[in-house]
Amino acid sequence: MADKRKKKQTRRGREATTAAILDVAEELFSAHGYDAVAVRDIAARAGISHPIVHKYVGSKADVLRAVLARDEGLIASAAPANPDLIESASLMWRHGLGQDGLAYLRLVVRAALDGLPYDRTPGQFEGTERLIELAEQAAASATPAERAATDLDPRVAIAAAVSLFLGWAATESWVRPAAGLQDMDDAELIDGLERVVLGILRENVPGVERAGASRGE
């Protein structure tokens, strides 16, 4: 019994330390960029020795992948099993621009701007993949007339929406004053930006409104 308790405590201690490593890594990578941060920096901020980082998580690349993999679910979980593209995109947009989501989005942007190859990330971003799945489902259900209205690949529409999402998360502090939006409160501004993003999807993904209506939404 004592051995089981000890093992359980050891496992909890390891899980807590790993979580602390990932929290610190997210903060440092977001603030300074991937290349500028060393495993020793992460360990020092977490209050542990750098061999512990290697033992519990792995190399610096492994740490980044673990952070991205852990936090990707924050966005996708905002619309679990939701079959409607517009509603799912709206929920993900609002959740992603919350404080927890912003940290993740800014980390993704920083990694991309630092030139980190996509294949050094987890290689899977659930939120984007879910939106593409829903967009393709909507397009497949579209009438011939709806398809004739746009020949754009639905994936391109999602890429545009996601780019705006990431861009706003990364550049709000510059774009907001540049556009003279300092006098607009946060809720009104987010509502407006959401309308633009959803408008892109409605305009460029055939069958979107029809797919929602067929489900009584």
Q: What is the 3-state secondary structure (H, E, C) of the chain?
A: CHHHHHHHHHHHHHHHHHHHHHHHHHHHHHHHCCCCCCHHHHHHHHCCCHHHHHHHCCCHHHHHHHHHHHHHHHHHCCCCCCCCHHHHHHHHHHHHCCHHHHHHHHHHHHHHHCCCCHHHCCCCCHHHHHHHHHHHHHHHCCCHHHHHHCCCCHHHHHHHHHHHHHHHHHHHHHHHHHCCCCCCCHHHHHHHHHHHHHHHHHHHCCCHHHHHHHCCC
CATH number (domain holding residue 106): 1.10.357
CATH number (domain holding residue 46): 1.10.10.60
The structural domain count of the chain equals 2
Assess whether 13 and 115 both reside in one domain: no
Q: Please state the rounded mean pLDDT for residues 149-154.
A: 89
Domain that residue 111 falls in: 73-214
What is the predicted pLDDT for the residue at 211?
47
Residue 130 inside a domain? The answer is yes
What is the predicted pLDDT for the residue at 10?
59
Burial code (b: 16+ CB inside 10 Å, e: under 16) for 39-67 equals bebbbebbebeeebbeebbeebeebbbbb
Give residue 174's pLDDT band: very low, low, confident or very high (50, 70, 90): very high
pLDDT tens digit sequence for 42-91: 999 999 999 999 999 999 989 998 998 888 778 888 888 888 999 999 99
pLDDT tens digit sequence for 27-46: 899 888 888 999 999 999 99
Give residue 215's pLDDT band: very low, low, confident or very high (50, 70, 90): very low
Assess whether 1 and 107 both reside in one domain: no
Interhelix angle 60-76/99-113, rounded to 10 degrees, is 130
Residue 65 inside a domain? The answer is no
Assess whether 89 and 193 both reside in one domain: yes
Say yes or no to pLDDT of 213 above 50.
no
Instruction: Give me the percent of the chain exceeding a pLDDT of 90.
Output: 52
Assess whether 40 and 108 both reside in one domain: no
